[in-house]
Amino acid sequence: MDKEELERRTKAFAMRAIRFVASLARNKMADIMGYQLGKSGTSIGANYREANRAESRSDFVHKIGIVEKEAAETQYWLELFDEAKIGDPDERRWLLKESSELLAIFTSIGKHTKASPNSKFDFRNSK
């Protein structure tokens, strides 16, 4: 998967997270949790896009670290939604699975980039 495909994938994830939050019944808890999921779920793609425009390897590593944190936070909120059985169960499961995959991808990118600081690895085209 190249960076453009991963940018599209994170944007598609954000759109599904937005639709999931928009579909929730209105109550105080769902509003609070939905707000948090909306922030972190949309932040994954925004920060990944920013990482792809990094000015240096260290800037890229730093920004990918932020993407990892946002993906982990998103997964946390989705786990809470799932355990509390809030929202559409099929959509929750899809979002949880996709957030897990995205977290694994970004963790791998971060580790690979950190592990090869002097290689000719092109951090802007990481897979």
- Tell me, what CATH number does 32's domain have? 1.20.1440.60
pTM more than 0.85: yes
- pLDDT band at 121, cuts 50/70/90? very low
- pLDDT band at 122, cuts 50/70/90? low
Please check whether residue 127 lies inside any domain of the structure. no
63-69 mean pLDDT: 97
State both tokens at 47: 């920060």
**Structural domain count of the chain:** 1
The rounded percent of the chain whose pLDDT value lies above 90 is: 87
Tell me the pLDDT tens digit for each residue of 75-113: 999 999 999 999 999 999 999 999 999 999 999 999 998
Identify the pLDDT of residue 102: 98
66-78 mean pLDDT: 98
Please check whether residue 37 lies inside any domain of the structure. yes
- Residues ≥6 apart with Cβ < 8 Å to 24: 30, 31, 34, 86, 87
Please check whether residue 125 lies inside any domain of the structure. no
For 7, the domain range is 3-111
State both tokens at 94: 């899809």
Please check whether residue 38 lies inside any domain of the structure. yes
Please check whether residue 126 lies inside any domain of the structure. no
Identify the pLDDT of residue 19: 98
Q: Is the pLDDT of residue 4 over 50?
A: yes
Please check whether residue 122 lies inside any domain of the structure. no
Please check whether residue 11 lies inside any domain of the structure. yes
Higher pLDDT, 118 or 110: 110
- Per DSSP, the three-state class of 78 is helix
Please check whether residue 117 lies inside any domain of the structure. no
